[in-house]
């Protein structure tokens, strides 16, 4: 069964070639953007305040700043539920100057279906992810749904791990797309993990226009204590079609209670 799922996953991500954004909100991750199959321990709560800074390479010199928090609860040993709350979104460009409003709310769920049994080549873990984007940031925002998502994590050893995910995203009746993220991390010490990731976004807009974005992320996670992890990353678009290039700085502090 695991080999069948892995084959489907590789076929899908290869077809779309291989994000500056998290595919599903409200769920935990072990790197900068890409999620892992790990879940918050049962009956524990993970709180993650975050700040994202986006700079677009367009004629209006657009900049967007997001401040928010993710709250995730370990519902079962292999299931977590949560939501990301974007408390404030600042939009700034040469036309409107600065505008701010309350951001969106993104509930999500992660269900680990298979656990990795050992470090052998054929052993890995698999999880389902899914979520919703509730458009609370303004009248022009749309509902978005992520009904189908797959995460595959492979721990090579205690220091080296690889995470991959692919998600189907539907924005009301206007847009459907695929978001896929892939990341590798290596603990060079017991607490510091440099991370390299690659993301791909495909959007089909009204069956008339296609957007493609390929980006790379560099960053690190630092386990400050057993209950606190600092995350910092920079994501840069290297290929974009029918959309502007962006650079995103991601910062977060993950706290386990």
CATH number at residue 117: 2.40.160.40
SS3 234: strand
**Does pTM surpass 0.85?**
yes
CB atoms within 10 A of CB 17: 12
Tell me how far apart the alpha carbons of residues 224 and 111 are, in angstroms, rounded to a whole number.
Answer: 27
List CB contacts of 54: < 8 A, sequence separation 6 or more.
Answer: 20, 63, 64, 65, 66, 246, 247, 248
Tokens for 162?
């690889």
- The string of pLDDT tens digits covering residues 126-152 is 999 999 999 987 767 789 999 999 999
CB 179 within 8 A of CB 157: no
pLDDT in tens, 7-21: 344 433 333 333 345
Residue 232's pLDDT is what? 97
Domain tally for the chain?
A: 1
Range of the domain at 16: 2-256
- 44-93 pLDDT, tens digit each: 999 999 999 999 887 778 888 889 999 999 999 999 999 999 988 777 76
Buried/exposed 43-73: b ≥16 CB within 10 Å, e otherwise: eeebebebebbbbbeeeeebebbbbbebebb
> What average pLDDT does the chain have?
88
Provide the pLDDT for residue 11.
38
CA distances from 139 to 69, 134, 169, 203 (A): 22, 12, 20, 21
Residue range 238-245: average pLDDT? 85
């Amino acid at each position: 069964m695991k080999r069948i799922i892995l084959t489907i996953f590789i076929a899908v991500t290869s077809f779309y070639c291989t994000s500056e954004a998290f595919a599903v909100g409200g769920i935990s991750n072990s790197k900068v953007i890409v999620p892992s199959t790990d879940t918050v321990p049962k009956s524990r709560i993970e709180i993650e305040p975050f700040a994202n800074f986006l700079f677009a390479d367009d004629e209006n010199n657009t900049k967007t700043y997001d401040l928010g928090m993710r709250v995730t609860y370990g519902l079962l040993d292999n299931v977590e539920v949560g939501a990301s709350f974007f408390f404030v979104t600042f939009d700034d460009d040469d036309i409107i100057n600065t505008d701010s409003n309350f951001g969106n709310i993104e509930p999500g769920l992660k269900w680990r279906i298979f656990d990795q049994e050992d470090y052998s080549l054929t052993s890995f873990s698999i999880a389902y992810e899914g979520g919703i984007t509730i458009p609370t940031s303004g009248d022009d925002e749309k509902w978005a749904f992520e009904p189908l998502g797959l995460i595959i994590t492979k721990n090579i050893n205690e220091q080296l791990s690889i995470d991959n995910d692919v998600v189907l995203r539907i924005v009301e009746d206007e847009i459907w797309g695929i978001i896929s993220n892939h990341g590798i991390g290596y603990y060079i010490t017991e607490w510091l993990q440099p991370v390299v990731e690659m993301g791909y976004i495909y959007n089909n807009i009204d069956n008339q226009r296609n957007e493609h974005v390929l980006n790379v992320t560099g960053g690190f996670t630092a386990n400050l204590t057993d209950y606190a992890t600092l995350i910092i990353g920079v994501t840069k678009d290297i290929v974009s079609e029918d959309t502007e290039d962006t650079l995103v700085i991601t910062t977060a502090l993950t706290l386990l209670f």
